[in-house]
Amino acid sequence: MTDIARNMLFEPGGPLRGTVAVPGDKSISHRSLMLSALAVGESRISGLLEGEDVLATAAAMRALGADVQRGSDGTWRIHGVGVGALTQPETALEMGNSGTSTRLLMGLLASHAVTATFTGDASLSRRPMGRVTTPLGLMGAEFTTAPGGRLPLTMRGIVPAVPIEYRLPVASAQVKSAVLLAGLNTPGTTRVIEPVPTRDHSERMLKGFGARITVEREADGTRLISITGEADLRPQVLAVPGDPSSAAFPIVAALITPGSDVTVTNVGMNPTRAGLFEMLRAMGADLTITNEREVGGEPVADLVVRHSQLTGIEVPPEMAPSMIDEFPIFFVAAAHAKGVTRTSGLDELRVKESDRLALMAQGLARIGARVEEQADGLIITGTDGEPLGGGNDRPTIAAELDHRIAMSFAVAGLHTRGGLLIDDMSPVATSFPGFAEMIAGLRGDA
């Protein structure tokens, strides 16, 4: 892609109208490929997100011995090798921007007789991996890492691995999943204690593939997840629902742009992912959930959203895991609300693809929003529906290799006075191919 294509202008235009479907869920897509690669026989996946992050997982599963093919109809066919039978990759596993690929694959490989090197881009190479190497080290895997426990990293898996009981020190579905995936090829029962529930796609899908996995809930909400190895997984036919984290962008774009009326179809509504929709409705969003159904073991619905006058709220910190990836775009919604929106308990946002608290605070301030950055959240005083940005002011926002920062400011630009430039839209290809075209289509600009 040329520099011209990376640099993109988002400016005010007409309302957003129409019906769109967003690409497949990123979390479910990664897990579909990984578990299919471990099931003996052919699995078929439709609706797979064909973004760079998921393609990095597909390439890794091929490098580890699975047969992974994309049919001309968009269905993916995977011939898995069986739990325990992944083979030594010949070269380093290139993870690009994808933390999920890296952390989940480290888990999968920790209990295989494989030595693997993981490399990634500048953003991924800054992200903490100690949260995964610690529990996997307790299971017997060995690691050589760059300073600070970061990528590039080489892992020596162990057979047999040792089953552990691990209490998650951070609310992280990636850490939970890494330990559970390591448990697949570990004799005995591996347990994860999860004090704050995070997305449960791994648990649902492991069960669907036939793993022996149980989830117990304690009175205080703590979840005890147990998986017993060594597992035999059965191939599956999977349909990946649309990603609620991607649906968030056209939804907030419609909410803040006067005259808008948008339907997003086939959106995953797993309760561990749907916190944004709940909070937007609490702010007064005209957001209707229709046609509720089940796709591939996950609740799915169509969402109808119209431009709305939002009111600021206080987001309870316990909501954080169920909308963890949606805070950047939520902050854009808050910047247009009437009154103050307060968020807290968001320390994890500082170690995502970028420091999302800092970048959102800086970028929103550049387009005239009133933002106070705190250690673990933002306090935003909204415009009461007025557009952001000064008269002729057309700032450039640096996306810092973070797809969700790029898309959040792209949406913000639609309701500014003078528009804004995103310096590099290329990271959007990691999770939402066709994002800019979708927005243009909804505005009738296509």
Which residue ranges make up the site for ligand S3P (CB under 6 A)? 27, 100, 172-174, 177, 199, 324-325, 348
Judged by beta carbon, residue 111 or residue 177, the one nearer ligand S3P is 177
Q: Which two tokens stand for residue 362?
A: 């800086």
CB atoms closer than 10 angstroms to residue 348? 17
Closest C-alpha to 84, from 207, 165, 183: 183
Residue with tokens 């991996």: 129
Judged by beta carbon, residue 55 or residue 304, the one nearer ligand S3P is 55
User: Cβ of residue 2: shortest distance to ligand S3P, in angstroms?
Assistant: 28
User: Cβ of residue 206: shortest distance to ligand S3P, in angstroms?
Assistant: 13
Q: Which of 25, 200, 243, 325 is catalytic?
A: 325
Q: Which two tokens stand for residue 75?
A: 């269905």
User: Cβ of residue 25: shortest distance to ligand S3P, in angstroms?
Assistant: 9
Judged by beta carbon, residue 112 or residue 273, the one nearer ligand S3P is 273
User: Cβ of residue 36: shortest distance to ligand S3P, in angstroms?
Assistant: 16
b/e burial code for range 259-280 (CB count within 10 A of at least 16 → b): ebbbbbbbbbbbebbbbbbebb
Q: Any bridge partners for residue 380, and if so which?
A: 341, 371
Respond yes or no: is residue 325 known to be catalytic.
yes
Judged by beta carbon, residue 257 or residue 408, the one nearer ligand S3P is 408
User: Cβ of residue 377: shortest distance to ligand S3P, in angstroms?
Assistant: 16
Judged by beta carbon, residue 22 or residue 421, the one nearer ligand S3P is 22
User: Cβ of residue 105: shortest distance to ligand S3P, in angstroms?
Assistant: 12
Judged by beta carbon, residue 348 or residue 393, the one nearer ligand S3P is 348
SS (H, E, C) the chain: CCHHHHCEEECCCCCCEEEEECCECHHHHHHHHHHHHHECEEEEEECCCCCHHHHHHHHHHHHCCCEEEECCCCCEEEEECCCCCCCCCCCCEECCCCHHHHHHHHHHHHCCCCEEEEECCCCHHHCCCHHHHHHHHHCCCEEEEECCCEEEEEEECCCCCCCCEEECCCCCHHHHHHHHHHHHCCEEEEEEEECCCCCCHHHHHHHHCCCEEEEEECCCCCEEEEEEECCCECCCEEECCECHHHHHHHHHHHHHCCCCEEEEEEEECCCCCCHHHHHHHHCCCEEEEEEEEEECCEEEEEEEEECCCCECCEECHHHHHHHHHHHHHHHHHHCCCECEEEECCCHHHHHCCCCHHHHHHHHHHHCCCEEEEECCEEEEECCCCCCECCCCCCCEECCCCCHHHHHHHHHHHCCECCCEEECCCHHHHHCCCCHHHHHHHHCCCC
Judged by beta carbon, residue 200 or residue 424, the one nearer ligand S3P is 200
Judged by beta carbon, residue 164 or residue 181, the one nearer ligand S3P is 181
Q: Annotated catalytic sites, by residue?
A: 325
